[in-house]
A and B are shown apart, each in its own frame.
Chain A
Amino acid sequence: MSEPLLSVDNLKTQFFTEDGTVRAVDGISFDVYEGEIVGLVGESGAGKSVATSSILRLVDSPGEIVGGEITFKGETIFGLEEGDDGEPRPRDDMLSEKEMRRRIRGREIAIIFQDPMESLNPVFTVGGQLREFIEINRDLSGEEAEEEAIDMLREVGIPAPESRYDEYPHQFSGGMRQRVLIAMALACQPDLIIADEPTTALDVTVEGQILEMVTELQEKYDTSFIWVTHDMSVVAEICDRVNVMYLGEIIEHAEVDDLFYETKHPYTQALLDSMPRPDKTVHELDPIKGVMPEAIDPPSGCRFHSRCPHAREVCREVHPEQRDLADEGEPTHSAACVMYDAFEVGYEESRPIETEATGGFSAGLTETGDGE
């Protein structure tokens, strides 16, 4: 593969609240290449959406990108350098707010939001909204944009697009509205589409249709996607490569098959075990123990250790960086877990500790579920 389309390097986004600094995204790195669908997976609150709004530089106050670098097609979306006074300041080659608005948002990177019910403006027609975005991002005249909008509505499977063009969002079902949002993204002909949990609010049959449609259209237009979700079954269906996020960090990254068949990180394993499947009854499901800690005060060492069934003393002390654990010649499969020999921190010799996932009654259950 050549140069990545989008490269995120050690991105840090923090929220400065009255209670303290929330490190919502804490040093994540990932690449997106042309024509692929990259998954960004994790529980609610892992920092997925903050990561995606950081890419568009649309983090709401009091949030702020405080470090790292985002490069898109050779242009710097975000980058800092040390100023004369020793404080970091934006680099000269960083795109200005105006350039972001005119050249990047919508035109190069489009986004599909989670909630189709709220994302469309209730007082404008669906067609009018679609047309406005096309006009802004494709330099088409009003009439051409309207034609394009109708074509696009047809493309995403909306029946009778000519008449539905003049209808209002409340006249569309949830699934239809999500199709409209997808049409908006595709119609601007961006190189990258960020899909922020686009099917979460939909029922499963509609979700299936939408995923199928996106896969088809993705091949047709050769657009790259960042697919944000907490649903492992969606990942399996649609993604080429996957990044698993936990509490502001990416803790595992692999090609989709490797992630499912050779899961490395205990958190990823736990996510997979908690996924309902036809071959498992509800009683056999193994939900992740405990709740994700607050990003305002993350646990020391490995952030997952408080909920990890394999936690040992060392997990509390050492904060693991992601390392490539794949065999030579194989595609990258990195994880951030000291369980693996590559980390050489003496996991084997370390004493197991009691956590939410090991202690008491639940200990027996987790032992049986683990193949090592």
Chain B
Amino acid sequence: MGLLRYTLWRLVQSIPVLIGIITITFFLANQIPGDPVEIMLGPSPAQEQVEAIQARYGLDRPAHERYLTYLSGVASGDLGQSIYYDRPVLEMILLRLPVTLYLTVSAFMFAIATAIPLGVISAKRRNKPADHVSRIVSLVGVSTPSFWIGLMLIIVFAFYLGWFPARGLPLPWEAPADIRGAETQLQVIRTSLHHLAMPMVALGTLQMAQITRIERSSMVESLQGEYVKLARAYGVPESTIVRKHAFQVAQLPVITIIGLGLSTALGGAVLTETVFEIQGMGRLIITAINNQDYELIMGTTFMFGVAFVVGVIITDVAYAYIDPRVAYGDE
């Protein structure tokens, strides 16, 4: 049962990383020129008003004191109070996070589901037409920014063809009453998927392209391995060799790319959400920065940090699960 211990150990190891993220974010956010109180109250506010607000959000205390307060708050699950929304930061995050996760996870599933077959076929038919097509597609995908793809999709499929809606992203589990034109839960799910299609493709294309490229090169290498020659020499059918012998070895670098891609995808989600006017974490972080909402900036950045760390841990654990050579660190 090394795997469970390994996972727990990796979780413990991530604590200093998270503290680091909080520390850096805290001091950087406080260095941003400008004053949230000024943004809140408009130009030339009354001195008493300023002092009242400062006292309310603890802005009158020195930075190191606020830092320690914030740190102990985070430890007990309190991410502070948003100045702009005047609501707890955690509440805002929990409101927006599901939308972003829904978008990101779908984009990843789209990317993996298309990239892996594409990469494998490409490697199997190396230097043949199918390979060239897949390589061009992935090259274009890697070099095209997600927001541009989003805009193009909107122009073609929303504006000219009118096949997909260009704005918003309702969640599939929202109540039918909250969604216009939906009466049953099934209709909510349909509406949700309908809205999801374009942002998912816009966000997932980069991941798809990257995974395809890695999958291809990794499979090409694996198919030339001695163990593949051995399997051939023992009469193993070619399809089994590709699906089993070569495939499993080839997935190790692919997993790394998928895990690290999670952070890229979250970054991409900020842009995609802006293009498609989706009320997710991306929009939240932009609002926070625009309004110098310290606590909200820290809270959202911290959540992105957590997502990144979780991505890395999932990668490590998946790696250890697939590759028996990765030691669990218990010997």
Contacts and interface: CB of A to CB of B under 8 A. Distances in A.
Whether A associates with B in a native complex is yes
Interface of A: 56, 58, 101-102, 104-107, 110-111, 113, 115, 118-125, 132-133, 136-137, 168, 170, 181, 184, 188
A101 B235 contact: yes
A141 B237 CA distance: 18
B232 to A, nearest CB: 6
B226 A118 contact: yes
Contacts of B229: 58, 113, 119
Nearest to B322: A123
A25 B217 CA distance: 31
B226 A122 contact: no
Nearest to B238: A101
Q: Rank and list the top 4 A-B pairs by shortest CB-CB distance, nearest first.
A: A106-B234, A118-B226, A105-B235, A121-B227
A16 to B, nearest CB: 15
A170 B324 CA distance: 8
Contact of A188 (B232, B234, B249, B324): B234
B20 interface: no
B64 interface: no
Given A120-B227, A133-B236, 17 more contacts: A58-B232, A105-B233, A105-B234, A105-B235, A107-B235, A110-B233, A113-B226, A113-B229, A113-B233, A119-B229, A121-B231, A123-B248, A124-B248, A125-B324, A132-B236, A136-B236, A168-B325
Contact of A184 (B234, B245, B249, B325): B234
Contacts of A113: 226, 229-230, 233
Contacts of A170: 324-325
Interface of B: 225-227, 229-237, 245, 248-249, 322-325
A113 B225 CA distance: 12
Nearest to A102: B235
A121 B231 CA distance: 9
Contacts of B235: 101-102, 104-107, 136-137
Contacts of B249: 121-123
B265 to A, nearest CB: 27
B325 A119 contact: no
Given A113-B229, A118-B226, A101 B237 contact: yes
Residue in B230, B234, B249, B323 whose Cβ sees the most chain A Cβ within 10 Å: B234
Contacts of B226: 113, 115, 118-119
B34 to A, nearest CB: 54
A56 B232 CA distance: 10
Contacts, number: 68
A133 B230 CA distance: 10
Contacts of A132: 236
B325 A122 contact: yes
A168 B234 contact: no
A110 B234 CA distance: 7
A123 B324 contact: yes
A188 to B, nearest CB: 7
A106 B324 contact: no
B300 to A, nearest CB: 39
30 contacts: A58-B233, A105-B232, A106-B235, A107-B235, A110-B233, A110-B234, A111-B230, A111-B233, A113-B226, A113-B230, A115-B226, A118-B226, A119-B226, A119-B227, A120-B227, A121-B225, A122-B227, A122-B323, A122-B324, A122-B325, A123-B248, A123-B322, A124-B248, A125-B324, A136-B236, A137-B234, A137-B235, A170-B324, A181-B230, A188-B234
A184 B249 CA distance: 21
A132 B232 CA distance: 12
Contacts of B245: 121
Contacts of A56: 233
Contacts of B248: 121, 123-124
B323 to A, nearest CB: 6
A145 to B, nearest CB: 13
Contacts of A110: 233-234
Nearest to B252: A123
Residue in B225, B231, B235, B249 whose Cβ sees the most chain A Cβ within 10 Å: B235
A122 B322 CA distance: 10
Contacts of B322: 123
Contacts of A123: 248-249, 322-324
Residue in B225, B236, B237 whose Cβ sees the most chain A Cβ within 10 Å: B236
A122 B246 CA distance: 11
Contacts of B324: 122-123, 125, 168, 170
A18 to B, nearest CB: 13
Contacts of B232: 58, 105
Nearest to B247: A123
A106 B234 CA distance: 4
Contacts of B237: 101
A124 B241 CA distance: 13
A188 B235 CA distance: 11
Contacts of B236: 132-133, 136
B230 A119 contact: yes
Contact of A106 (B225, B233, B323, B325): B233
B185 to A, nearest CB: 42
Contacts of A137: 234-235
Contacts of B230: 111, 113, 119-120, 181, 184
A165 to B, nearest CB: 14
A107 B235 CA distance: 8
A123 B322 CA distance: 7
A121 B226 CA distance: 8
Contacts of B231: 121
Nearest to A167: B324
A48 B122 CA distance: 32
A125 B225 CA distance: 17
A351 to B, nearest CB: 48
B221 to A, nearest CB: 12
B74 to A, nearest CB: 40
Contacts of A133: 234, 236
A125 B245 CA distance: 12
B234 A136 contact: yes
A133 B244 CA distance: 14
Residue in A102, A133, A181 whose Cβ sees the most chain B Cβ within 10 Å: A133
A56 B233 CA distance: 7
A349 B245 CA distance: 61
Nearest to A100: B235
A48 B245 CA distance: 27
